[in-house]
């Protein structure tokens, strides 16, 4: 079972599943006590979810991608991010549901909605790997401009600049398993 603190710490690894993170940097970004973060990292390491490499006195943590449980934990973290989105933007939850229904494939929210900095004038940025039905009726109904960027699994390259922007700050609306498999 994952606790809220563990979810928050593991969420830091979702911007790049290959990242190596320093405990102090995680604590600073999350505005959490450094000792608390250290305890969480130690607990995750004992469960073989993460590993670390030592450079001098510093430990750099990274996901243990050889452990099948790690991928399952990351799925939980990604689902938790989606739940947080639903809680933050309750008034447009029906919009998110409709976007899920109209997408055939993977849909990922990125930009201001994904980092919870949206303003009245913010567009909803949606990345779709697959296809999506017409959305103009939803834009009118919710008075939100929806920018859709489409791709295919063959064209999606995790190392290109645009993909990195999405991976750095994303919330998977539909297709958690498929998206993780694509970039794992």
pLDDT at residue 2, rounded to an integer: 67
CA pair distance 34, 23, nearest whole angstrom: 7
pLDDT score at 1: 57
pLDDT tens per residue, range 124-177: 999 999 999 999 999 999 999 999 999 999 999 999 999 999 999 999 999 999
Confidence of residue 3 (pLDDT cuts 50, 70, 90): confident
37 pLDDT more than 60: yes
Q: How far apart are CA 152 and CA 79, in angstroms?
A: 22
Kindly state the DSSP code that residue 57 receives in the 8-state scheme: T
How many Å apart are CA 8 and CA 13, to the nearest integer? Answer: 10
38 is written with which tokens?
A: 């250290």
- CA distance linking residue 177 with residue 170, whole number of Å: 14
Tell me the average pLDDT across 28-36: 96
Mean pLDDT of 17-35: 96
Domain boundaries defined on the chain: 4-63, 89-183
Of 3.90.660.10, 3.30.460.10, 1.10.150.530, 3.40.50.800, the CATH number of 89-183 is: 3.30.460.10
Residues 6+ apart with CB under 8 A from 109: 85, 124, 125, 126, 127, 170, 171, 173
pLDDT of residue 133: 97
> Can you tell me the mean pLDDT for 28-41?
97
CATH of 4-63, one of 3.20.20.140, 2.60.40.420, 1.10.10.10, 3.90.1300.10: 1.10.10.10
Q: What are the backbone dihedrals phi and psi of residue 11, each rounded to the nearest 5 degrees, phi first?
A: -60, -25
* Rounded Cα–Cα distance for residues 80 and 158 (Å): 22
- CA 14 to centroid of chain Cα atoms: 5
Q: For residue range 83-120, what is the model confidence (pLDDT) as tens digits? A: 999 999 999 999 999 999 999 999 999 999 999 999 99
* Strands 146-151 vs 124-132: parallel, antiparallel or unpaired: parallel
């Amino acid at each position: 079972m994952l606790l809220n603190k563990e979810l928050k710490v593991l969420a830091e690894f979702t911007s790049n599943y290959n990242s190596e993170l320093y405990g102090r940097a995680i604590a600073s970004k999350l505005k959490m006590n450094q000792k608390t973060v250290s305890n969480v990292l130690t607990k995750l390491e004992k469960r073989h979810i993460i590993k670390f490499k030592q450079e001098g006195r510093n430990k750099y943590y990274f996901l243990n991608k050889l452990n099948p449980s790690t991928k399952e934990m990351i799925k939980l973290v990604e689902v938790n991010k989606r739940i947080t989105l639903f809680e933050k933007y309750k008034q447009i939850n029906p919009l998110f549901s409709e976007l899920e229904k109209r997408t055939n494939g993977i849909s990922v929210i990125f930009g201001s909605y994904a980092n919870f900095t949206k303003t009245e004038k913010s567009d909803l940025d949606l990345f779709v790997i697959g296809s999506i039905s017409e959305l103009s009726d939803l834009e009118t109904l919710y008075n939100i401009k929806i920018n859709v960027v489409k791709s295919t699994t063959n064209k999606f390259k995790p190392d290109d600049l645009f993909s990195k922007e999405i991976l750095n700050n994303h919330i998977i609306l539909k297709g958690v398993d498929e998206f993780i498999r694509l970039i794992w």
